[in-house]
Amino acid sequence: MTAVPAPTQPRSRSLWSVVRHLGAFGVVGGIGFVIEVGLFQLLYGHLGSGAVVAKAVATIVAMTVAFFGHRHWSFAHRARTGFKREYPMFLVINGLTLLMGLGIVAFARYGLDLTSAWALQGANLVSIAVGTVVRYLLYRQWVFPAADPAA
């Protein structure tokens, strides 16, 4: 008697799943991006806040919006480990990437002596791009882990 192989998902379906997942992550990230860039520009460019303070406030506001978007949409298909575990871990990861972003903006402002709102916005954009990649990888691994197939 020969074993019947288990049915497999068509390749295009799994590709579609990846595209949807990355699309949702991108939309949530895009909303966070607009909030962060807009708030940074408002605080630094128009209200006279310091560059580092503007970066910190903009990131914290965008991060809070992003947590709920990721939890309830882009990572909704992954295991739920509980708000009390997920949110603090999300905060730690975002805190680390915030420090990284602050370092990039501070280096541009004080290390390179850039003062133009546009130049500092460029540094802000670089920090967002690097932070996005780091956050995505860490969210998948630690905040919203894959469901245990044995469970």
Per residue in 39-88, pLDDT tens? Answer: 999 999 999 999 999 988 998 898 889 999 998 888 887 877 888 888 89
> Which pTM does this prediction carry?
0.64
Q: Is residue 32 part of a domain?
A: yes
Residue 131: domain span: 23-143
Q: Is residue 8 part of a domain?
A: no
Total domain count for the chain? 1
3-state secondary structure of 6: coil
How far is Cα of residue 63 from the mean position of the Cα atoms in its chain?
7
Distant-in-sequence, close-in-space partners of 50: CB < 8 Å, separation ≥ 6: 44
Q: Is residue 10 part of a domain?
A: no
Q: Is residue 9 part of a domain?
A: no
Q: Is residue 3 part of a domain?
A: no
> Quick check: 116 pLDDT over 70?
yes
Q: Is residue 13 part of a domain?
A: no
pLDDT of residue 10: 47
Q: Report how far residue 25's alpha carbon sits from residue 67's, in angstroms, rounded to the nearest whole number.
A: 11
Q: Is residue 125 part of a domain?
A: yes
Q: Is residue 73 part of a domain?
A: yes
Q: Report how far residue 109's alpha carbon sits from residue 45's, in angstroms, rounded to the nearest whole number.
A: 14
How far is Cα of residue 75 from the mean position of the Cα atoms in its chain?
12
